Amino acid sequence: MRYHLKDLADVIRSKNSGPYELTFDIMFKTEDIYKRVCTADVINKTSFASLYKISTDDIMEVIHFHPAKAIKVTIVRPVSSGDLRETDVYGAQQHAPLMNFSFDMEL
Amino acid sequence: MEELKILSPTAILGYGFPMDSWEEGMRREPDVIAVDAGSTDPGPYYLGAGISFTDREAVKRDLTIMIPAALKNGIPVIIGTAGGCGAAPHLQWNKEIIEEIAREQKLSFSLAVIPSDIKKSTITESLQKGSITPLYPAPELTQADIDDAVHVVAQMGVEPIVKALTEGAQVILTGRAYDPVVFAALAFYKGYDKGLAMHLGKILECAAIAATPGSGSDCMFGYIGKDYFRVEPLNPIRKCTTLSVAAHTLYEKTNPYVLPGPGGILDLSETTFTQETDSIVRVAGSRFNPTHPYNVKLEGVKKVGCRTVSFAAVADPVMISQIDEITKAVKARVKDNFTGLGDYFLDFKVYGRNTIGKTGVMGIFGDTSNHAAPESQPLELAIIIDAVAPIQETANTICSFARSTLLHYGYPGRISTAGNLAFPFSPSDIKMGDVYEFCMYHVMEVTDPCELFPATIIKFDGGDIK
């Protein structure tokens, strides 16, 4: 069945983790959904890299954090915070592609 | 082991807190009041320019409540990362606010001021010894980065604060400090578990953000015991839940299980979160693993130029359909006219496209235009003309010329021949002054955790400096 990430999560957010990293948190609505998404392995280095059109080498971590029913992805910031090419100093609005992310997952 | 109690009034000094929450906190008889004042989030400008991103009156309001109450109760107040960035001008700014409060209220107390500025010669020496490592993905440090740096600070650990506490300081004002340490210092000093103290500090540094609903301008209370700690919001509209507290460990961090800081790594892989009451969460199992040698993190910025921007908008559908070709042509025209003017940076930040990427919000990713909205063409676009050059006059010239060229540019099929841009403001161009970029985000080995952070003690007697 086809799912949209924004329908399965209570929180989808992005933020700087220091000036050289961006980190994305996805907190799922229920433990069941969290476990199914983890098992289905739909959010991994490959899918995230293709979503953001970046190299998998620039994905530092994909972490499953059970206490918060969350998957966290931390990447190399394309430019350091406040660089001349900056468009989002806090990195707080880089999550939109994740909201639109859709994938197939078995029930 | 009796519980040690810590009051965190607000997420950032100057963000404020409700008096009802504050009084709830004071009723619980805290052993220390601590507050973090800093962040690198607002970008490199504030460290470079030596000014705070918080407002002076707002910072004074918070401290005017905190300091007299703490002195009355005989407990310390600890303020981390003065003025937002913790360099000498930020520390001086906050020190003057404290002196003003002391004078106005005729207070008698001992103030420890702990600077965190690092001399360039110290950094060069460490670089040559090989004791500086970049924090991936920051690049390797070069001597040029050191030479170019405007302000360099290091994040202190708990040790300089503990030292000031042992010397009897009642108010402690620090330069750049690792955010959790102002909350953890008294617990370290009193011999509580370091892992629990640091994890509690990690939560308290954002005050009520770890509650639900979260807030950056409301109080949070922490209790630490022998093998646990507890967190409690002080506003009845907020609750701490195991989810809200656990979720907070994710916030702005690379990895929620492994949190490196000065002198050690906080390991949360065995941490448990238990709901104690409907608003209090109990946490256990967090560990602090000391690292040898002791590392501190350096933060430094360099000036890259001066900026002038112009804000404009477009509604013409013919122009909107060609916006990329037009901005490219204007850039070429500017270049052609000012070949002798030296280096400059010119960018058109175009907002409102139906694709995410290119030059809008997600411009830092380059063209990610696979995220296209279904509609064909936007009705309006906002454009920020952004010019940066070594001196302000050059930035003004580039911005002004790019603006006038874009305003009257004769693109193919143009029928609105009076002007291409809608300016909401007169003047249309804004001089933004100095522009900085981060040039240092590295760890440096030290032999003594206090060696870079020498405290000065100032004694106030009835508001006057003795």
The string of pLDDT tens digits covering residues B190-206 is 999 999 999 999 999 99
Q: Which pTM does this prediction carry?
A: 0.94
Residue of B135, B245, B250, B251 to mutate, testing the A interface (most A Cβ within 10 Å of its Cβ): B250
pLDDT bracket for residue B373 (50, 70, 90):
low
Q: Could you tell me if the ipTM is greater than 0.95?
A: no
Rounded average pLDDT over A51-60: 95
Rounded average pLDDT over B344-370: 82
What pLDDT, on a 0 to 100 scale, did the predictor assign at position B192? 98
Does the pLDDT at position B377 exceed 90? no
Does the pLDDT at position B359 exceed 80? no
The C-alpha R_g of chain B, in whole angstroms, comes to 26
What pLDDT, on a 0 to 100 scale, did the predictor assign at position B30? 98
Among B102-106, B297-301, B355-359, the range scoring the smallest mean pLDDT is B355-359
Which residues sit opposite A3 in a β-bridge? Answer: A103
Four-CA torsion B372, B375, B376, B378, nearest 10 degrees: -90
Q: Coil, strand, or helix at residue A44?
A: coil
Residue B43, Cβ neighbours under 10 Å: how many? Answer: 23
Q: Coil, strand, or helix at residue B252?
A: coil
DSSP B355: B
Before B68, cis peptide (omega within 30)? no
B 225-264 residues with CB < 8 A to A: 242-243, 246-247, 249-257
Does the pLDDT at position B369 exceed 60? no
Does the pLDDT at position B101 exceed 60? yes
Does the pLDDT at position B375 exceed 70? no
Among A95-99, B116-120, B147-151, B395-399, the range scoring the smallest mean pLDDT is A95-99
Rounded average pLDDT over B64-81: 98
User: Could you report the per-residue pLDDT of B162-184, keeping only the tens digit for each?
Assistant: 999 999 999 999 999 999 999 99
**Mean pLDDT across chain B, nearest whole number?**
95
User: Could you report the per-residue pLDDT of B79-92, keeping only the tens digit for each?
Assistant: 999 999 999 999 99
Contacting residues of A for B12, CB less than 8 Å apart = none
Q: Kindly give, in sequence order, each residue whose CB lies less than 8 Å from that of residue B181, ignoring residues fewer than 6 positions away.
A: B80, B156, B157, B158, B161, B198, B201, B261, B262
| % chain B with pLDDT above 90 | 90
Contacting residues of B for A20, CB less than 8 Å apart = 135, 137-138, 438, 441
Does the pLDDT at position B370 exceed 80? no
β-bridge pairing A21-28 and A9-16: antiparallel
Among B235-239, B306-310, B374-378, B382-386, the range scoring the smallest mean pLDDT is B374-378
Rounded average pLDDT over B390-419: 97
Q: Strands, E, within B334-406: which ranges?
A: 345-351, 381-389
The DSSP code sequence of B71-82 is HHHT--EEEESG
Query: Please, what is the end-to-end C-alpha distance for chain A in angstroms?
Result: 7
Does the pLDDT at position B128 exceed 90? yes
CB-based contact A52 B363, cutoff 8 Å: no
Taking alpha carbons only, the member of B231, B261, B263, B265 closest to residue B247 is B231
Does the pLDDT at position B300 exceed 60? yes
Rounded to 5 degrees, φ, ψ at A57 are -65, -25
**Cα–Cα distance measured from residue B96 to residue B91, given in angstroms and rounded to the nearest whole number:** 9
Does the pLDDT at position B299 exceed 90? yes
What pLDDT, on a 0 to 100 scale, did the predictor assign at position B253? 85
Query: Please, what is the end-to-end C-alpha distance for chain B in angstroms?
Result: 38
Four-CA torsion B405, B411, B416, B417, nearest 10 degrees: 60
Q: Coil, strand, or helix at residue B384?
A: strand
Per DSSP, helices labelled H in B172-294 are 181-189, 194-204, 242-248
pLDDT bracket for residue B288 (50, 70, 90):
very high
CB-based contact B138 A68, cutoff 8 Å: no
What pLDDT, on a 0 to 100 scale, did the predictor assign at position B372? 57
